[in-house]
Amino acid sequence: MSDGPILEVRDLRVELPLSRGTVHAVDGASISVAPGQAFGLVGESGCGKSMTLRAIMGLLPRPGHIVGGEVLFEGEDLVTASPGRLRQIRGGSIAMIFQEPMTALNPVMRVGDQIAEAPQVHLGLSRTSARERALDLMRRVGIPDPVRRARAYPHELSGGLRQRIMIAIALSCDPKLILCDEPTTALDVTIQDQILKLLLNLRREFGVSVVFVTHDLAVVAETCEQLAVMYAGQIVETGSVDEVFRAPRHPYTLGLLRSVPDFDSVQDSLASIQGAPPDLVMPPPGCRFHPRCPFAQEDCISGEFPLRPLSAGRATACIHPDAPAADVERMPVVADV
């Protein structure tokens, strides 16, 4: 499977039956991640990007569940895989890093033991050699004085160190793919930068593929090669980071790019996208973005809006991709990525 994508999500559908109705959290999302690639999944809060990530791992929060689609990891469908097989893959071949390292670490377990757990299960290491491995991993993710820190509890460490522990946990069984759910959102800006650089270095060193889920376009610009933009449970645009940032072909992507403040942008004032994301119990008909879209036309308010290929590796769900393109012509978004 070395040629094909390491991860391919096809037409994934996730629903959460709540008392007020069924939330269509992910509604036909498809992404494809090549081996060794860094892939960004971008969108606002509640657009379904974290749900997509959780669904890949089979770890949807209650009462969410997958109602359709495939998650192919090295060609094997994880949606239909047995619980035992899923456990082998989780932590072994696919690892995950969460947004909030304080709550994602067990508060009453020493961090060294938390790192050593997975190698005991997946690599069959003894307790002692798993501990040795944990110390080694802590060194590699840049934790000073690992012998002392391994005996610490999460609350005794700083946010940055805690996230390094999470990264060490993720790396502990030499995974092929790491899923990062907003890995830097909960951290200070300076620490964010350190953690991103660390992830980039480790990616090169270990040769793993990484999927970043984030709302922070700066993170994507810094770390990813390929990206997918998600809106209201659907993927609305895909392509290389370079091309999408330079020439967005979906009004939502354009809006996101225009509303980034700390960016080498040529605009004078900060724009924001009008309106609020739709309720996913009853999403709007037609293009889900049309109520907020400045370029919306008659034909946007009904029908299906699947991704349409533009060129090699590029696709957009917008049926008027020239409109955002013309807008970028007038006023470029990014001076240089």
Partner 1 sequence: MDLPAYVARRLLQMVPVAVGVTILVFFMIHLVPGDPARTMLGTHATPQRVALLHKEWGLDKSLPVQYERFMSRLVHGDLGDSLFYRVPARQLIVDRLPVTLWLIIYGTGLSILIALPLAAVAASRRDAVRDQVVRVVPLVGLGFPSFWVGIMLLLAFALNSGRFFPVGGYGHGFSGHLRAMFLPALTVAIAIAPILIRSLRASLLNVLESDYITTARAKGLPERHVLVRHALRNAVISTVAVLGVNIGYLVGGTLVIEQVYALPGVGQLMINSIFQRDFPVVQGVTLVFAILVVLVYLITDIVHSLLDPRVRFE
Binding site for partner 1 (CB under 8 A): 54, 57, 59, 61-62, 86-92, 95-96, 98, 100, 103-109, 117-118, 121-122, 153, 155, 166, 169
Beta strands 234-240 and 314-316 are antiparallel
Smallest distance, partner 1 to C-beta of residue 41, A: 17
What is the C-alpha separation between 96 and 175, in angstroms, rounded? 10
Q: Which is nearer to partner 1, 121 or 310 (CB)?
A: 121
Tell me the HSE value of 215 on the side-chain side, using a 13 A CA sphere. 13
| Of 106 and 297, CB closest to partner 1 | 106
Round to whole Å and give the CA distance between 125 and 314. 44
CA separation for the pair 54, 16 (Å, rounded):
13
Shortest CB 62 distance to partner 1, Å: 7
Q: Which is nearer to partner 1, 82 or 311 (CB)?
A: 82
Distance separating alpha carbons of residues 181 and 215, to the nearest angstrom: 10
Minimal distance, residue 167 CB to partner 1, in Å = 12
CB closer to partner 1, 97 vs 287: 97
- Cβ proximity to partner 1, 134 vs 227, nearer residue: 134
Contact 14, 51 (CB under 8 A): yes
CA angle at residue 131 from 128 to 137, to 5 degrees?
A: 145
Q: Taking the complex as a whole, how short is the minimal distance between the CB of residue 105 and partner 1, in angstroms?
A: 6
C-alpha span between 62 and 48 (Å, rounded):
15
Minimum distance, C-beta of residue 112 to partner 1, in the bound complex (Å): 13
102 vs 218 by CB, closer to partner 1: 102
- The angle at the Cα of 176, spanning 171 to 178, to the nearest 5 degrees, equals 60
Q: Are 181 and 98 in contact (CB under 8 A)?
A: yes
The secondary structure of 37-87 as a DSSP string is -EEEEE--TTSSHHHHHHHHHT-PPTT-EEEEEEEEETTEESSSS-HHHHH
| Residue 143 or 257 with smaller CB distance to partner 1 | 143
Smaller CB distance to partner 1: residue 61 or 144? 61
d(CA 257, CA 332): 10
Q: How far is the CB of 218 from partner 1 (least distance, A)?
A: 25
Minimum Å distance from CB 323 to partner 1?
41
Residues 6+ apart with CB under 8 A from 197: none
Cβ at position 312, least distance to partner 1 in Å? 34
**Residue 2 amino acid letter:** S
